């Protein structure tokens, strides 16, 4: 298998459009777990389901991909952080990576839907269930998926935010959970059950670490740190420290590193007056040794994350996609 620095990401922006895959029809779940009061959350947590489906579908360049988004940082500042510099030394640095718009939420929308549908805010936005996402493509190919949201109070939570009751800070926010923005997910109890929590404070209560220990991590995963850990309410230094604490042990874990790629990137840059230039770093045991520590100067953006998955697992690249798909795999 040929793997060049440019073989990871595909560059074309694409909208997945209307789904031909008949997403689950489970009416009533769109408002099942939206309450954010302490008592309501405790009651919902007692009944909400959690599931961890697994699969082993071989890919052309990798068998697992984990995508981690940090928040609102200009390329140069992220590039200069010592912890992210350490990750750059372990993989491929993407020097020409871009967010697709501003503010945050539409970038998360675009990351799994291939379009941000003109969204220009961080409100309680919803895409109707006939709009497909990468989740539809993954399920159609029998590839397991899951999202891990730091400090989400329980699996399936759909509320706008969850506040840390000790310090009053925002922990989890819906706008950084791309699957929660789509009715094709929130109308399905099964799909909601695959949006789970992650915690570095108490790993015994972290579904990510439970799935890791039981070797039940999915082949596609999207990981969102909380509003402190992702740098949104803090700094790139805090984000870098969190990333190192979370990822460094996983680089040696056989349950995680199983022909795996990890994409570290940001939703958008901080300075709106500048081009939306963000840092991207690719690490993992699926990165060939001769590319470790190198830089890829090709153009990429958040749409590339979907295109890469499509190319790797031979997904349909003409339907439901719109526009010409340009993959850098040379397949």
Would you please indicate which residues are annotated as catalytic (active-site) residues? 233
Q: Where are the alpha helices (DSSP H) in 156-213?
A: 183-186, 189-192, 207-213
Closest-CA residue to 84 (of 298, 265, 327):
265
Count the helix, strand and coil residues of the chain and give each as a percent rounded to the nearest 5: 30, 20, 50
Q: What are phi and psi of 137, to 5 degrees?
A: -65, -45
Instruction: Report the C-alpha gap between 77 and 293 in whole angstroms.
Output: 19
Widest Cα–Cα separation across the chain: 54
Instruction: Report the C-alpha gap between 16 and 279 in whole angstroms.
Output: 25
Could you tell me whether strands 195-198 and 145-150 are parallel, antiparallel, or unpaired per DSSP bridges? Answer: parallel
- What contacts 273, CB < 8 A, 6 or more positions away? none
DSSP 57: -
Instruction: Report the C-alpha gap between 236 and 179 in whole angstroms.
Output: 25
């Amino acid at each position: 298998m040929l793997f060049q620095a440019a073989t990871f990401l595909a560059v074309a922006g694409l909208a997945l459009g209307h789904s031909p895959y008949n997403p689950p029809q489970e009416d009533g779940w769109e408002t099942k777990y939206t309450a954010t009061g302490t008592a309501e959350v405790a009651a919902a947590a007692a009944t909400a389901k959690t599931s961890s489906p697994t699969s082993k579908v071989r890919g052309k360049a990798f068998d697992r991909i984990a995508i981690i988004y940090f928040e609102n940082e200009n390329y140069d500042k992220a590039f200069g952080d010592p912890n992210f510099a350490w990750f750059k030394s372990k993989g491929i640095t993407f020097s020409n990576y871009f967010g697709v718009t501003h503010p945050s939420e539409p970038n998360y929308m675009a990351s799994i839907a291939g379009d941000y549908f003109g969204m220009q805010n961080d409100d309680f936005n919803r895409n109707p269930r006939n709009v497909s996402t990468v989740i539809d493509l993954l399920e159609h190919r029998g590839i397991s998926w899951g999202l891990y949201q730091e400090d989400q109070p329980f699996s399936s939570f759909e509320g706008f935010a969850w506040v840390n009751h000790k310090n009053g800070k925002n922990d989890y926010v819906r706008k950084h959970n791309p699957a929660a923005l789509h009715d094709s997910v929130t109308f399905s109890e099964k799909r909601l059950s695959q949006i789970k929590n992650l915690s570095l404070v108490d790993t015994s209560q972290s579904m990510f670490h439970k799935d890791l220990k039981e070797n039940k991590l999915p082949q596609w995963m999207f990981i969102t740190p909380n509003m402190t850990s992702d740098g949104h309410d803090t700094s790139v230094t805090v984000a870098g420290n969190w990333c190192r604490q979370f990822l460094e042990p996983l680089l040696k874990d056989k349950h995680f590193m199983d022909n795996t790629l990890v994409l570290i990137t940001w939703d958008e840059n901080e300075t709106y007056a500048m081009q939306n230039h963000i840092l991207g770093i690719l690490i993992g045991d699926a990165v060939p040794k001769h590319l470790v520590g190198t830089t890829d100067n090709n153009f990429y953006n958040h749409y590339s994350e979907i295109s890469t998955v499509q190319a790797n697992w031979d997904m349909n690249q003409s339907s439901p996609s719109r526009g010409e798909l340009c993959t850098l795999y040379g397949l």
